[in-house]
């Protein structure tokens, strides 16, 4: 799949050489190197151009961006992935819970990558799977994919520079403060390739901000903003402050940790575990600057049915006790 990019050179870029202009537009060194193999990659006012060609105000500059990354062998599998937005450069989807992002051992056809490949296939398109922000298998919500190497490079820089905003909704055990910031470095647990832990000596910097939205009988609904994006960051940080995510089995949230242990209450909570059979975490919003147009983009993913039903069940339980 190719992407044709057209630019009209402004007065601000008068006298700039092509290579410097492309770097200014976000072309990485890797992309520029790959473009050398395509003799038709660059043209200026209808004529072939090179990296040292000087640009003038009003010039029409055309770039052909060919896909140079080999096919990743992902099997297209129709999975009905909800699409929040799409254009030639990006795809924003609403990932369901219980869906891995990438294929792995035992998950060859049931991943987001499989579903996206099938979706693009119906449109006569294909491209390597380039996921910019990642979500755990059991976390639902908004996720952005780049459809070409340039978009991926620009969005990856935004991610590194913490310019992509992400907010989550989470149900946690107990009642935290009205708001707070958790700054605690995270590293991989010594005896696991998946589990993470707080590690003040060797961990990577991790910062999470939260706001208390609602309290329901020793459980709370939080809005969470990530400043960094470490693996399992929210899950590990919530456990660290004593408010594990509801039904987060890996970090202990699948047990009744707080509140009364009377049989009726235990039965109620166990029923809630069945209603929401995964950690109660949803990526609600996603904000970034479009890699081509420079427009500020903002997307909201509605709370999925399992978490909606969970909250309604808690609200009903509380109202019946009042």
Exposed/middle/buried for 93, CB within 10 Å: 0-12, 13-18, 19+? Answer: buried
Q: Which of 123, 125, 165 is nearest to 148 (CA)?
A: 125
Q: Which of 205, 209, 206 is nearest to 170 (CA)?
A: 209
Q: Which of 255, 283, 240 is nearest to 136 (CA)?
A: 283
- Torsion angle defined by CA atoms of residues 207, 211, 216 and 219, in that order, rounded to the nearest 10 degrees: 10
- Say which of 13, 59, 89, 136 is annotated catalytic: 136
Q: Which residues are bridge partners to 290 per DSSP?
A: none
Tell me whether strands 140-146 and 281-289 are parallel, antiparallel or unpaired: parallel
- Contact present, 121 and 112 (Cβ < 8 Å): no
CA atoms of 314 and 303, how far apart (whole Å): 16
Q: Mention every residue, 6+ apart, whose C-beta is less than 8 A from residue 193.
A: none
- Residue 136 designated active-site: yes
The secondary structure of the chain in percent helix, strand, coil, rounded to multiples of 5, reads 25, 30, 45
**Where in the sequence numbering do the catalytic residues fall?**
136
């Amino acid at each position: 799949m190719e992407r044709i990019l057209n630019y009209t050179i402004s007065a601000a870029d008068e006298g700039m050489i092509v290579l410097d202009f492309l770097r200014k537009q976000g072309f990485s060194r890797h992309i520029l190197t790959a473009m050398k193999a395509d003799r038709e990659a660059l043209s200026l006012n209808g004529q072939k151009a090179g990296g040292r060609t000087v640009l003038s105000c009003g010039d029409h500059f055309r770039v052909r961006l060919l896909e140079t990354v080999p096919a990743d062998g992902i099997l297209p599998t129709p999975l009905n992935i909800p699409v929040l937005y799409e254009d030639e450069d990006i795809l924003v989807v609403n990932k369901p819970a219980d869906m891995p992002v990438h294929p792995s051992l035992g998950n060859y056809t049931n991943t987001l990558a499989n579903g996206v490949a099938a979706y693009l296939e119906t449109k006569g398109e294909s491209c390597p799977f380039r996921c910019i922000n990642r979500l755990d298998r059991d976390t639902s919500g908004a996720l952005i994919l780049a459809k070409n190497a340039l978009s991926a490079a620009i969005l990856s820089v935004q991610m590194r520079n913490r310019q992509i905003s992400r907010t989550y909704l989470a149900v946690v055990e107990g009642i935290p403060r009205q708001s707070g910031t958790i700054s605690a470095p995270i590293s991989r647990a010594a005896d696991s390739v998946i589990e993470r832990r707080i590690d003040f000596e060797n961990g990577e910097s991790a910062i999470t901000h939260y706001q208390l939205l609602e309290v329901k009988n020793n459980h709370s609904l939080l809005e969470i903003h990530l400043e960094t994006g470490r693996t399992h960051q929210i899950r590990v940080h919530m456990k660290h402050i004593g408010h594990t995510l509801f039904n987060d089995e890996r970090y202990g949230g699948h047990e009744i940790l707080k509140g009364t242990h009377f049989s009726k209450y235990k039965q109620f909570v166990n029923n809630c575990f069945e209603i929401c059979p995964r950690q109660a975490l949803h990526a609600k919003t996603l904000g970034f600057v479009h890699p081509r147009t420079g427009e500020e983009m903002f997307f909201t993913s509605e709370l999925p049915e399992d978490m909606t039903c969970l909250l309604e069940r808690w609200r009903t339980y509380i109202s019946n006790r009042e």
